[in-house]
Amino acid sequence: MSFKGFQKSIVRAPQQLKVKFNIGEHTKDAVYTDAERRFDELEKETKKLHDESKKYFEAINGMLNHQIEFSKAIAELYKPISGRASDPDSFKFEGNPEGIQACEDYEAIVRELQESLAPELDMIESRVISPADQLLEVIKVIRKVAVKRDHKKLDYDRHRASLKKLQDKKDKSLKDEKALYKAENDVEQATQDYNYYNDLLKEELPKLFQLEAEFIRPLFQSFYYMQLNVFYTLHEKMQGMSISYFNLALDVEEAFEQKRGDVQERAEALLIVHFKTKGLGRANSKLGSLKASEAKAGRGRASSTASDQPPPPYSSPSPTGGSFSAAAKSKPAPPPPRAKPAHLSKPVETVVALYDYEAQAHGDLGFSAGDVIEIVTRTDNQNEWWTGRVDGREGQFPVQPCGYAGIKPMRRRTQFLSGLHPTDIIYSFSFMTADILCFIIQEVTMSGLVHLINARLAHGDQLISGDLWVDPKAGVFVPPPNPAPLASVIDLQDRIMAPGFLDLQINGAYGFDFSDDIAGNYAGLSYTERYRDVRRKLITTGTTSFLPTMTSQLPERYHQNLPFLGPSPSRDPFDGSESLGAHCEGPFFAHNRMGVHLPDAIHASGATSEPKRVFETYGSNNLVNSDNLSKRASLRSIPSRVRMITMAPERSGALDTIKRLSQAGIIMSIGHTAATYQQSRAGIDAGATMITHLYNQMNGHHHREPGPLGILGGAADLNLENETRILKQAGDGEDSNVNDRPYFGIIADGNHVHPASIRLAHLMHPNGLVSVTDALLLLGGEDGTIDWLTRRLTKKGVSVTLEGTDIIAGSCVTLLQCLNNFRRWTGVSIPVALQAVTSRPAAVLGLSHLKGALTAGADADFVVLREEFVTGQTTSGLVVDQVWKFGVKVYDQSGQ
């Protein structure tokens, strides 16, 4: 405290006493008093949140450290048993070398477990403890303001009391008049100061409480999912522990009895167990003589009164040692040594099918609900496909429709630790740990199902009234359970329920471009932080999954950025919109169709698009392994961060690259091209399945040279069978896509493509239209001009152009806006329009079983929409009311 502050505290002391003992008049504000009470509670609970999170962090670490020390202690017990403690060079193993090895193996498992859990525990530090610290710092600042307000209140009351005293004085002297004038000025100043701080806190504290609610919700959800990951990892490691010393096929009690054998009886037969000292005194001591005589008399009485009792097994040793020799003769023969437990093979890992799955391609493994599938090979990602075996059949299967089998319910463990070998204690301890963790998992995850009722479900080209069941734990839709369990019931009140939107082409949003330099520091935020912020804002628009798109860049930028833009590793719903892999739009373009892309990057790519150059540009680590390019691989097995590539098919080597990468599972799209119809046709025949933003940066349609647009009508040499098939597709809404009719992206923002052209493309191939935004970092921003990479962009409404020109650079619309525009310009129904942003982009990516559908086993990503009619328009507009990710509501327009 400064000297000035000390002086003020002295001046305020009398007023503080009056407040404490309720003397005189005191200013009271009921609104502020209530806000202060809530703020005090917030401060206390935030501190508690911080402390308890830290304790949890330390408890998990402490538990693992204790397990390691536990195994060390067991191993150390064998040193005196084996003689190693007193004679380190001894080679006599009287202890249990197999048990010591088991201790070491157990310690290694726990240390490995520590390493596995380190990232999760670090996330507790970064996502819970650190944010709580930051909130505490904010609260400290606000607390200072509150203290300042209290001080100003004391000054206000103090000056008012002084003024009133002077005003009430009848005979005022000149000195009193001067004091009155000063007191009036003091009151005026004190009133201003007090009202400023009092009004500031009354106005701002409710906003803080609202922000605090938004802060706590994702923090709690993150902690919940991190806790689940910790428990699952602990349980999996402990349950799958494979140490041959332990017979894991036995129950703990049964294993204990088997290992203990007759060790307790043999121990009781040892002489030293029953040996007791008598505390005999010295021979010449009177006390010793007295005790000796009493002992002798006592023995005499015992023998006279209990002559039918056998003598004690051990008596005081005689000088000749006869009693020891007699005991040695009567010692029972030791039992035969126990057989070592058989070494068990590693238990077979299995999963149980929750739903039916029909094989989609050669090499897939089909199964029925309830089938137990033996896992042959697996990955750590349960969103991928594993190899399994059932009924003698082997193949790849999706993990999503399956659940782990063989997790036994927690059994009551009776503690029989006395008489156990030290390593047997580890065995019992390990099993009890695994069972306790299993119980914890069951308790923590007992969140129940969510039953959504009274909804209009988007299914195909219809809206069907019905209900759906969601499992928030697994993050998927589930079949209606029978009988229906207790669940959280949510009435959607006849609103539309549709799959979450998928955007296959979005370059950035909310002030962030995915092609930005990762080393840049933007307003103190890192690339990762800005990327996460964009995902969390993007999901509120209904876009639950997307392909972060990088425009044409030099190789170094791709190598740096693509590792951040690959498929999202987390299933935390509060991480925001999910990346399904990156879309590389460029730089392998026609040089006269580059648009606003960086000319240096396109020229650096040269005139060839051969596979080697493509791998060098994007980085081999970001694409599929080149060893797999010679054979066809399914999309689900790709370890690729790049999910889609846009390329001009007429470039040298492009057709070979398209063929090889598409066979490896990467989605190849033709775009930014000067290709003719035949060249475009060749690209589709080579394996491209998509056209990037149809009409834009490609040759226009001509009746003699239709260009890329012409291939929407099918192959030029159609026979009657092919023509019938294509017409059938257009007529019955079939969503499958044949090689001669690719999918195509449309930017329905009102600038890129005229509404009549959109209608034309839709009429040509209604089941191929995919709505994309091609949004730039100006999405969500104000009108104006900003820097973009090496250029400057101007935003006006939904239009984005290069500064000072009318050259279109991209858009700043959401998929919801594109969806409403598409409906208004084509007149299609709501469910048909929804296909362009849900099921169809999922089909492009080969993810129809996981995304873009409201079916059992698919990810529970969905939006709740309501219709809103606008004056002067014949069609209603759709508004996003709610967004759900992995079965958890992450956005509600009502704020609930």
CA 91/CA 365 separation, integer angstroms: 55
Sorted by where each begins, the domain ranges of the chain are 449-500+853-896, 501-851
The HSE-up count of residue 307 (CA atoms within 13 Å, CB side) is 2
Task: Give pLDDT, residue 446.
Answer: 36
Q: Regarding the domain delimited by 449-500+853-896, which CATH topology (the fold level of the hierarchy) does it fall under? A: Urease, subunit C; domain 1 (2.30.40)
The HSE-up count of residue 112 (CA atoms within 13 Å, CB side) is 11
For the chain, how are helix, strand and coil distributed in percent, rounded to 5? 45, 15, 35
Residue 841 near residue 543, CB atoms below 8 Å: no
Enclosing H/E stretch for 879: strand 877-885
Using the structure block, give the residue that is written with the tokens 């009036």: 184
Instruction: Give every CB contact of residue 566 below 8 A, 6+ residues apart in sequence.
Output: 579, 581, 582, 622, 640, 641, 642
* Continuous H helices in 83-129: 97-124
C-alpha dist (Å) from residue 137 to 43, 118, 128, 201, 458: 10, 27, 14, 17, 47
Tokens found for residue 157: 């009351």
pTM over cut 0.85: no
Task: Give pLDDT, residue 680.
Answer: 94
Instruction: List pLDDT tens digits, range 189-233.
Output: 889 888 888 888 888 888 888 777 777 767 777 777 777 778 777
DSSP 547-607: EEEE-S--HHHHHHHHHHHSS-----GGG-SEE--EEEE-SS--TT--TTS-HHHHHHTTT
Task: Give pLDDT, residue 734.
Answer: 42
Residue 641 near residue 622, CB atoms below 8 Å: yes
Using the structure block, give the residue that is written with the tokens 């669940």: 487
Average pLDDT, 10 consecutive residues per value, the chain (896 residues): 66 71 74 85 84 84 86 76 53 63 84 82 79 84 88 86 84 83 87 88 84 73 75 74 70 74 79 56 42 42 39 37 38 46 52 72 79 83 76 81 37 34 46 44 51 94 93 90 74 95 96 90 82 94 97 94 90 91 95 90 85 91 56 43 95 94 93 94 94 94 90 64 49 47 94 94 94 94 86 88 89 95 94 97 94 94 91 79 94 81
Task: Give pLDDT, residue 51.
Answer: 86
Residue 475 near residue 447, CB atoms below 8 Å: no
Radius of gyration, alpha carbons of the chain: 39
Prior bond to 312 cis, omega within 30?
no
Q: Regarding the domain delimited by 501-851, which CATH topology (the fold level of the hierarchy) does it fall under? A: TIM Barrel (3.20.20)
Q: Which residues are catalytic?
A: 774
